[in-house]
Amino acid sequence: MSGPPVGTDVVAELGAAGVATVYEAAGRSGLLEEQWQQVTPGRRVAGRACTVLCGPGDNRAVHEALAHVRPGDVLVVTMDEPAPAAVVGDLLATQAVAQGVVGLLIDAAVRDTAELGQMPLTVHARWRNARGATKAHRGAVDVPVVVGGTRVAPGDVVVLDDDGAAVVPSGEAGRVLDAVRARLQKESALRARWAKGELSYDAYGLRAEDEAAPTPEGSPA
C-alpha cells in the first residue's frame, strides 16, 4: 500500500454513497465491470481491499489471506484466468466474518450461497457453482490485481452494492470523497425540484435545443 491507510470515516462515507455515486464523482472511473451476481442483494458496503491472486481453480491463497485481513477489509479474490471454481463457501466466509471482513468480491465462484446470505457480509461473485477448489497453488496475497478490467491495489477502497462494484485508489480517496459530497448535494437539490414536477428536459435546456435543431442525421424522426 502506498501512503497512509484510508481512514475508517472516509471508507464509511464512500460506502454510504454507493457505487454509482462514487464512480461518477471519481470522473466515471473505477468501475469493476463484470456481470457480478449479488449473492446478498440489498446490501451496500465499502472496505479497504485485501487482494488475493489465486492459482487456477485454487483457493489456497484465500486461506492464507484470512490470516492477514484486518477488520473493515473487503476481500478481493481473482485468478489469472478466472474460472467457476468455488474459492469461498460458508466455512471460509465464517472465518472472514470472525476477522471483521465486511465484503467479498469474488472473481471466481462461491458456494453455500444460502448460508452466505445469512451472514453479515456483502458478497458479489462472478459465478455461483458447487465445483470445489484445490489447495495446491500458493498464489499471492496483497498484490495489485486486475478485476473487471480495473486495477485494485491493497488498501484501495472497494464499494459494493446492487449496482456492482467500484474501486477508489487509496491515494485518491480524499479527493473522490470531496467530489462525492458535492455530487450528493447537487443531486439532492435536483431531486427536490423533480419531485415537485419540474422536468430535466426543460431545466437542462434539452427541449429548447431539440426544438431549435433539425433532427440529427441517423436518428429517428
Which residues would be at the binding site for ligand OAA (CB under 6 A)? 59, 86, 88-92, 111-112, 133
- Is the Cβ of residue 89 or residue 103 nearer to Mg ion in the bound state? 89
- Is the Cβ of residue 29 or residue 94 nearer to Mg ion in the bound state? 94
- 93 binding Mg ion? (CB under 5 A): no
Q: Nine-digit cell at 210?
A: 431539440
- Largest interatomic CA distance in the chain: 67
CB of 94 to ligand OAA, least distance (A): 8
Element (H, E) at 202: helix 200-203
CA-CA distance, 25 to 159, in Å (whole number)?
13
CB 126, CB 166: distance < 8 Å = no
- 89 binding Mg ion? (CB under 5 A): yes
Q: Nine-digit cell at 131?
A: 465445483
Select the residue interacting with Mg ion from 34, 58, 107, 112 (CB under 5 A): 112
Instruction: Judge whether 112 is annotated as a binding position.
Output: yes
- Choose among Mg ion, ligand OAA, none what residue 86 binds, the Cβ cut-off being 5 to 8 Å by kind: ligand OAA
Instruction: Judge whether 191 is annotated as a binding position.
Output: no
Residue with CB nearest ligand OAA? 89
- Choose among Mg ion, ligand OAA, none what residue 172 binds, the Cβ cut-off being 5 to 8 Å by kind: none
- Choose among ligand OAA, Mg ion, none what residue 59 binds, the Cβ cut-off being 5 to 8 Å by kind: ligand OAA
Residue carrying the nine cell digits 471483521? 100
- Is the Cβ of residue 92 or residue 102 nearer to ligand OAA in the bound state? 92
- Choose among Mg ion, ligand OAA, none what residue 133 binds, the Cβ cut-off being 5 to 8 Å by kind: ligand OAA
CA-CA distance, 193 to 186, in Å (whole number)?
11
Residue carrying the nine cell digits 477508489? 168
Burial bucket for residue 46 (CB in 10 Å: 0-12, 13-18, 19+)? buried
Angle CA 82–165–57, to nearest 5: 15
Residue numbers in the known binding site for Mg(2+) are 112
